[in-house]
Structure 1
Amino acid sequence: MAVDALSPFEVVEAVAKAGVQKGNMSLPKVFFSSVSAGCLLAFACGTVLSTNATPWFQENAPGLIRTIAALVFPYGLCMIILTGADLYGEVFATEPFKSAVTTFATKKQVTPDFHMIFLRGIGCNWLVCLGCFFGLQGRDLASKIIGIWFPIFAFVSLGFDHVVANMTFIPLGIWLGTPGINVGLYIWKGIIPTLIGNILGGGLFCGMSEVTTVVIL
Structure 2
Amino acid sequence: MDYVAPKDFVTKMIDAGEAKVFMSTRDTLIRSFMAGAILALAAAFAITITVQTGQPLLGAVLFPVGFILLYLMGFDLLTGVFTLAPLALIDRRRGVTLGGVLRNWGLVFTGNFAGAMLVALMMAVIVTFGFSQAPDAVGEKIGHIGEGRTMGYAAHGAAGMLTLFIRGVLCNWMVSTGVVAAMMSTSVSGKVIGMWMPIMLFFYMGFEHSIVNMFLFPSGIMLGGQFSIMDYLVWNEIPTVIGNLVGGLSFVGLTLYATHSRTAPRRQPFAGDRSEKIIPVAAE
Q: TM-score, normalised by structure 1?
A: 0.88
Pick the aligned partner of 2:189 from 126, 142, 145. Answer: 142
Task: Tell me the residue number matched to 1:37.
Answer: 35
Per-residue CA deviations over 1:23-75 (Å, capped at 9, x if unaligned) read: 10011111111101111111111112112223x73xxxxxxx22111111111
Instruction: Indicate whether 1:176 and 2:223 are aligned.
Output: yes
For residues 149 and 162 of structure 1, the distance between their equivalents in structure 2, rounded to whole angstroms, comes to 16
Provide the rounded CA distance (Å) in 1 between the counterparts of 2:179 and 2:126.
30
Aligned-residue offset at 1:143: 0.4
Q: Which residue of 1 aligns with 2:152?
A: 111
Partner of 2:19 in structure 1?
Answer: 21
Which range moved further: 97-106 or 198-207?
Answer: 97-106
Alignment of 1:1-217 (within 5 A): 4-54=2-52, 57=54, 65-83=55-73, 88-89=122-123, 90-93=125-128, 94-112=135-153, 113-179=160-226, 181-214=227-260, 215-216=263-264
Local SS of the residue matching 1:12: helix
Checking the alignment, whether the CA contact within 8 Å between 2:168 and 2:208 is kept in structure 1 is yes
Q: What SS does the aligned partner of 1:35 have? A: helix
Answer yes or no: is the 8 Å Cα contact 1:6–1:137 preserved in 2: yes
Distance in 1 separating the partners of 2:9 and 2:127: 40
Structure 1 gap ranges (5+): 58-64
Cα distance in 2 between the residues matched to 1:92 and 1:213: 49
User: Partners of 2:51 and 2:144 in 1: how far apart?
Assistant: 10
In structure 2, C-alpha distance between the alignment counterparts of 1:84 and 1:26, rounded to whole Å: 14
Q: Give the letter aligned to residue 163 of structure 2.
A: M
**Residues 140, 223 of structure 2: 8 Å contact kept:** no
Structure ID, larger Rg: 2
Shift of 1:134: 0.3
Shift of residue 79 of structure 1? 1.2
Deviations 1:145-204 (A, max 9, x none): 11111000010111100111100111110111111x111111111111000000000111
Distance 1:117 1:202 in 2: 16
Query: Aligned AA for 1:122?
Result: V
User: What is the rounded CA distance, in whole Å, between the counterparts of 2:184 and 2:127 in structure 1?
Assistant: 36
Task: Report the secondary structure of 2:183's partner residue.
Answer: helix
RMSD after superposition = 1.9
**Closer/same/farther in 2, CA of residues 126 and 84 from structure 1, 3 Å limit:** closer
Displacement of 1:103 in angstroms is 2.1
Size of the aligned set, in residue pairs, is 206
Offset from partner CA, 1:87-138 (integer Å, 9 cap, x none):
5553333411112112222222221222211110000001000000001111
Structure 2: unaligned runs, 5 residues or longer: 76-114, 129-134, 154-159, 267-284
Report the identity percentage.
Answer: 28
With normalisation by structure 2, the TM-score equals 0.68
In the TM superposition, what is the alpha-carbon distance from 1:84 to its structure 2 partner?
7.5
